[in-house]
Amino acid sequence: MGKEKLVERLSWYYPLERFHTFVTVPFLIGFLIYYYGFEKTVLINSGLILCSAILYQGQLYWGIKLRKITGKEIDNDYYLKKFEKWTRTNPILLSSIVLTLPVHLILNEFKTDSFLFWGLFAHFFYVLEYVNYYQKQLMYDNINDFKYLLINRKLKKSSLLKDMQKRAF
């Protein structure tokens, strides 16, 4: 993808990720607690909090890329350390399901309902987003990505992983 196309894409993608991080997910958590109560939504809300954390990291990365591409100054070392720390802490955050799943089950008398399903789904989505940002690109939404996938028959390294390996954004 050329520089102009990338700037165009990041100019709408970065603010959208930021909006979901700071508006959509918190609103959804508040709505779920208000409408269904805390007990029923423990697992889904913990999953949504994790999703918000990974979306925060993603929107920060895309914001850094946009600033870098448009020639603005960034503190490369500061952000590398930040993302390296998150590489280690994200799996620890995911392990919170070991606490929230039993709490959810106890509070809901071990019922297996849609709240359990959606809670597990939110945690699974967090894992997918983590892999998408820190390991392999899972989102293929343009022709160049699909061509790469068809020709090479493997998933691409994520952009963030490549930037972290070369130690520069």
pTM over 0.85: yes
Number of structural domains, the chain? 1
Instruction: Look at residue 49 in the predicted model and tell me its pLDDT.
Output: 98
> Mind listing the pLDDT tens digit for each residue in 87-112?
999 999 999 999 999 999 999 999 99
For residue 133, what are the domain limits? 3-166
> What pLDDT, on the 0 to 100 scale, is given for residue 1?
73
Q: Record the tokens describing residue 155, joined without a space.
A: 């998933």
DSSP calls for 15-27: HHHHHIIIIIHHH
Mean pLDDT by 10 residues, the chain (169 residues): 89 96 98 97 98 98 97 96 97 96 96 96 97 95 89 96 96
Nearest to 164 by CA among 73, 56, 88: 88
The per-residue pLDDT for 144 is 86
